[in-house]
Structure 1
Amino acid sequence: MDNKLIKNIVGQFRDIQEQELWLDENFKKKIGNISEKLAFVRPLPELHSVAELISHILVWRKESILKLKGLKSTLTMESPENWLTNDELKKKGWEELKSEFYQSQKDLIEIIENETDNFLDKEYTDGFKFKYLLEGLIHHDLYHLGQIGIVVKYLNLKNKSS
């Protein structure tokens, strides 16, 4: 079975979530020690909280999982669930949000890990292949991992000055 590309993609998802990366960061390391109290704090009005960012990543992972399963997906940039508020997210709680976030990566990997590389060339919608979707999801995760790093730095500075 030819699945070198799939294995590479799965490896990247695992690396971003919990393995040692060359950039010395991953989601477990970055959000693992964030308290319930700090998770919902916007260090500046223009910056999202860690919880808002994790929720945003999660909603796009769930949307991608629907596409990978061949199911209809309806999320858009304008969808309210794209950026839930801290008040909405507090109802769920930080631990539950993290749990869903970590599970989404496992679910995603479970769907693709036994596929051949030919799967990547299949279109999930006109003109868009699964390879594009999965690579975009990796980029999206890394982009927001960086944002979380900035938010955490601001939170730490804010706490030191208090």
Structure 2
Amino acid sequence: MQSTQDWPSLEQLQGLGWNALQEQLAANQTHLIELLKQQSDQILSKVYNDQMHTFDYLINGIIQHDIYHLGQIGLVMSMLKHP
């Protein structure tokens, strides 16, 4: 199930502003790291949903997702600086 927070509108994102969005990303990543520090390595093999995905799968997906989108942002910013 997706919540309205999963896909904020362009207006919502613009209302927050670029700096706030960057701060949210950093805070979310820091929070995830802190949560993982409290766990043993066994959590990585634990299944977390009915599709039998493990936390290892989830964490790797989050990392790949963030890298992909950060790369997109970097490309767009580079294009804006050098048209």
Alignment of 1:132 with 2:54, yes or no, is: no
75, 80, 83: which one aligns with 1:155: 80
TM-score where L is the length of structure 2: 0.82
CA drift at 1:134 = 0.2
Q: Distance in 2 between matches of 1:133 and 1:108?
A: 12
The AA in structure 1 aligned to 2:74 is: G
Q: Distance in 1 between matches of 2:8 and 2:17?
A: 16
Q: Structure 1: any 5+ residue segments left out of the alignment?
A: 1-73
Alignment of 1:120 with 2:44, yes or no, is: yes
Kindly tell me: are residues 105 and 89 of structure 1, through their superposed partners in 2, closer, same or farther at Cα, counting changes over 3 Å? same
4+ residue runs of structure 1 moved beyond 6 angstroms?
none
Q: Distance in 2 between matches of 1:95 and 1:123?
A: 35
CA drift at 1:114 = 2.5
Q: Distance in 2 between matches of 1:93 and 1:128?
A: 34
Residue 27 of structure 2 corresponds to which residue in structure 1?
103
Percent identical among aligned pairs is 35
Secondary structure, counterpart of 2:48 in structure 1: strand
Alignment of 1:30-41 (within 5 A): none
Aligned residues: 82
Q: Distance in 2 between matches of 1:149 and 1:155?
A: 10
State the Cα deviation string for residues 89-114 of structure 1 (Å, max 9, x = none): 12122222221111101110111113
82, 106, 112: which one aligns with 2:7: 82
Secondary structure, counterpart of 1:125 in structure 2: coil
CA drift at 1:83 = 5.4
State the Cα deviation string for residues 43-97 of structure 1 (Å, max 9, x = none): xxxxxxxxxxxxxxxxxxxxxxxxxxxxxxx328xx6742531x22121222222
Kindly tell me: are residues 132 and 96 of structure 1, through their superposed partners in 2, closer, same or farther at Cα, counting changes over 3 Å? same
Q: Which has the higher contact order (CA 8 A, sep 6+)?
A: 1
Q: Distance in 2 between matches of 1:153 and 1:97?
A: 19
Secondary structure, counterpart of 1:123 in structure 2: coil
